[in-house]
Amino acid sequence: MFIAALLANGVVSAFDDDNKVLIDGPEVDLTLGELRKVLLTVPEDMRKMILVQPKKIRNIMDTTYMAKVAAQRARNKGLDKDPELQARLWNFELNLLAAAEVKDVQKKLIGNDVDYEAAARELYLMEKDKYRTPATYEASHILLTTENGEDEQALEDRLRRIREEIVQGKLDFAEAARKYSMDEGTAEKGGSLGTFNEGRMVKPFDQALKNMKPGDISEPVKTRYGLHLIALYKKTPPSVKPFEEVKKELIERVRKKAENEIKTDYWLKVKTDPKARVDETLFESFVAKPALLDNSR
């Protein structure tokens, strides 16, 4: 707001009532035109929201008036003659105008009615994997391990017998997990692993899930953790977000890419312009003993 208030004096009035005084202060006044100028410094999307909120407009009016009072007091003290402050204001204006120039070039080269949809579709096809949603599973398991010294074949046989009882309806899977599973983290929850994405589990476990249908009870599956019996309850197949769902995001990316290419090319041409010659002797003399302020006066 401080910089906006300082620069506001240089903007040409656009409305007949711009000179009307909003705040009549003992040191400075704030005009309606100055409030308009400050509101124009707010990004357009935020400005639209602010302009329908009187409290926010009043807050901006008040803070701008306070900044103008402080700025006037600074001028009265001669602070506006401070070399560092002048340099900052000069640099601010320089970069603001430079950005406006590049934006103007971008608009002229691109235009306002460019159809980016074809380029966005091409980008979508190139990056289709990025928009893939993996399969998800809801499953439980019973784990038996050889940590008690039991032979692996004996474990597998025991797991098959447990499976047979579950399949025949003699034993509920959750009940069996609580009774037999050696996975302490899931046994008390009936073996529940919750819902998880494809690829989260170790490869043999994941592969078994891919070959199962909801309601299936797997044969014993061997992993580095031991032998598992898996119950699959729900399976959501992998999918790809349709183009229409990501179209807006892709068009924005394509537009920004075009703008960045123009910007890069613009600055490269300015920097490498053969007509712009550096006085290397003068430059090396400066960097050898840089002096920013003349203290001899």
What is the domain partition of the chain in residue ranges? 2-92, 117-127+242-271, 135-237
Q: How many CB atoms within 10 Å of residue 5? A: 24
Report pLDDT for 149: 72
Q: State what percent of residues in the chain have pLDDT above 70.
A: 94
Q: Taking the CB of residue 131, how many other CB atoms lie within 10 A of it?
A: 16
How does residue 37 score in pLDDT terms, banded at 50, 70 and 90? very high
* pLDDT higher than 90, residue 294: no
What average pLDDT does the segment 188-195 reach? 96
Q: What is the mean pLDDT of residues 174-203?
A: 95
**Which residues have CB under 8 Å from 67's CB, separation 6+?**
1, 2, 4, 5
More confident of the two residues 81 and 14: 81
What is the model's pLDDT at position 297? 58
Provide mean pLDDT across the span 200-229. 96
Per the model's pLDDT, the better-predicted residue between 220 and 11 turns out to be: 220
- Structure letter (DSSP) for residue 89: H
pTM above 0.85, yes or no: no
Mean pLDDT to the nearest integer, 42-51 = 93
Specify the pLDDT at position 3: 46
Residue 43 three-state SS:
coil
> Binning pLDDT at 50, 70 and 90, where does residue 203 land?
very high
Give the residue-averaged pLDDT of 224-232: 96
What's the fold here for domain 135-237?
Answer: Chitinase A; domain 3 (3.10.50)
C-beta of residue 140 within 8 angstroms of C-beta of residue 166: no
Cβ-contact 131, 124 below 8 angstroms: yes
Amino acid 116 reads Y
Residue 65 has pLDDT above 80, yes or no: yes
pLDDT at position 113 is 61
Quote the CA–CA distance of 142 and 149 in Å, as a whole number.
Answer: 18
Q: Tell me the residue type at 103.
A: K
pLDDT of residue 296: 63
Distance in angstroms (rounded) separating the CA atoms of residues 297 and 116: 59
